[in-house]
Amino acid sequence: MISSLEILIPKNLNEALSLLVERKNNCRIIAGGTDVVPGLQQGSNRFANSELLIDINRIPEIKSITQTREKISIGGAETFSDMLQNQIVKEELPLLWKACSTIGSVQIRNRATIAGNFVNNAPCADTVPALLVYNATIEVESLSSKKEISIGEFLTGPYKTKLNKDEIVTRINIPIPSKEFRGDFYKLGRRRAVAISRITLAVLTKTQNHMIDEIRIASGAVTPIGIRFSDLEKLAKGKYADDKFLKLLSQKLGEQILNVTGLRWSSEYKLPVVQQMFYQLLKEIEHG
Amino acid sequence: MTEIKFIVNGKNVKVAVEPYIRLIDLLREKFDLTGTKEGCGVGECGACTVLMNGRAVNSCLVLAGQIDGNEILTIEGLANHNALHPLQKNFLLHGAIQCGFCTPGMVLSASALLNKNPNPDEEEIKDAIAGNLCRCTGYKQIIEAVKETAKEINSPSKQL
């Protein structure tokens, strides 16, 4: 049972940010509610002192998808369904589109929002690996400040981010990747729908005559938080993308994940799967 | 208590409620719309599916204080007076109902799909009902009922 809570629905960003200042110590933001409502219902201590929920679903400033020459800007309270229906996201950011399509169910995607996916920095957040390889930046606003930082910087540790109590994630900005990039997103859950991810991988590569010009690799769920593998990215730069090297890279990815995560009861299963799936992804991207 | 105005099954309503109760509880307890079922209570089973502004949502994940000004459709509002909705008719004809607990949510998810996409393929139907669990596992009949309804909708000769 949910105990007494007030709910306010601000009509614009300023109103919401003012509320966050006025009611600093006892308010929480709610958008789709797919994480907040079960949390409240189960009496999670995340909401122990909450007296007010601020519903940010009706704030136009954080609800649109826009495109300029260099970037695509997605409002933080944009739902996955809206993103999936958006042609710009589908064509320019196919990995993010695919990640969104694997989330929950139609019912969940109709309510859940992109910022909501990563503001609690759960390791299994499906959009994170895609946002990482796209070099997304996060726009955060409070009544007195506005900042824009990379997603990697924003996500500081398991269930921790740089977001302060008086701030809202207003937009997610993604530089439009050049057409030479090819890539894919992979998700493994216990079933196809309404499943928490066990493994997610995102890869974006640019090769010229089978020579790796640039590669961006990110994982989620198998690491404590979604991360990029810059050592591997550096190692791969300038290498010939033949079978032998792709296998080596996959093996090294497994080693790196083990380094970050440590040996777990599930490692025996997950590590070979990660390596094999990563190898398959690379092969498909390379050979089309 | 907060006063909330919204539309339920085509009717404008006004109700004073605690804003933190869930939409499913509001519908079942204040409006006696008990066709909306509670299964898991955490957004995984879809038994509590209703349409909010035409979109399928889990009513266990929406709070009453969030719905002011919105339009809600429950299974009770789908039939046209005494005439069953074509989906309801076809669910019966195809044996797509066993225990019936998932049925209201299943029918509403299917109706949201057909409103948006009157000619879905099997994969699209499966995706639309992926968030509705049927533990009697009669999915095949359910998919057939949705397919048949789409066929009827698209056939100009047939009166719905």
% of residues, chain A, pLDDT over 90: 74
Sign of torsion, CA B22 B28 B31 B35? positive
Query: Is the CB of B20 less than 8 angstroms away from the CB of A2?
Result: yes
Q: Going by DSSP bridges, is the β-strand pair A71-75/A168-175 parallel, antiparallel, or unpaired?
A: antiparallel
Predicted confidence at residue A130, as pLDDT, reads 97
Q: Which residue of A98, A101, A106 to mutate against B (max B Cβ within 10 Å)?
A: A106
How is residue A248 annotated by DSSP? H
d(CA A130, CA A203): 8
Which chain A residue has its CA at the smallest distance from B112's CA? A106
Q: Using only the alpha carbons of chain A, give its radius of gyration.
A: 20
Can you give the residue ranges of every domain in chain B?
2-77, 86-154
**The CATH number of domain B2-77, selected from 1.20.120.430, 3.10.20.30, 3.40.640.10, 3.40.50.720:** 3.10.20.30
A6 CB neighbours in chain B (<8 A) are 19, 65
Beta strands in chain A (DSSP E): 6-8, 27-30, 52-55, 65-67, 71-75, 137-141, 146-150, 155-157, 160-161, 168-175, 182-189, 197-208, 211-220, 227-228
Q: What local confidence, expressed as pLDDT, does residue A268 receive?
A: 82
Q: Report ipTM (2 d.p.).
A: 0.95
Question: How far is B140 from chain A, CA to nearest CA, in Å?
Answer: 17
Which whole number is the average pLDDT over B17-32? 97
Q: Rounded mean pLDDT of chain B? A: 95
How large is the average pLDDT for residues B45-60?
98
Phi-psi region of A213 (alpha: psi -120 to 50; beta: other; left: phi over 0): alpha
pLDDT digits (tens, 9 = 90+) for B99-158: 999 999 999 999 999 999 999 999 999 999 999 999 998 899 999 999 999 999 888 665
The residue ranges of every structural domain in chain A are 6-55, 60-175, 182-287
**Entry pTM:** 0.94
Whether B49 contacts chain A with CB within 8 A: yes
Instruction: Flag whether pLDDT at B160 surpasses 70.
Output: no
The fold adopted by the segment(s) A182-287 is Enolase-like; domain 1 (3.30.390)
- Choosing among 3.40.50.300, 3.30.70.20, 1.10.150.120, 1.10.3720.10, the CATH entry for B86-154 is 1.10.150.120
Could you say which of 3.30.43, 1.10.287, 2.120.10, 1.10.3470 is the CATH number of the domain covering A6-55? 3.30.43
Residues with pLDDT less than 50, chain A? none
Please indicate if any CB of chain A lies within 8 Å of the CB of B48.
no
> Could you say which of 3.30.465.10, 3.40.47.10, 3.50.50.60, 3.40.50.300 is the CATH number of the domain covering A60-175?
3.30.465.10
- Give pLDDT, residue B158: 53
Q: Which residue from A5, A38, A194 is facing B20, i.e. has the nearest CB?
A: A5
pLDDT at residue number B55: 98
pLDDT of residue A154: 97
Whether residue B154 lies within 8 A of chain A, CB to CB, comes out as: no
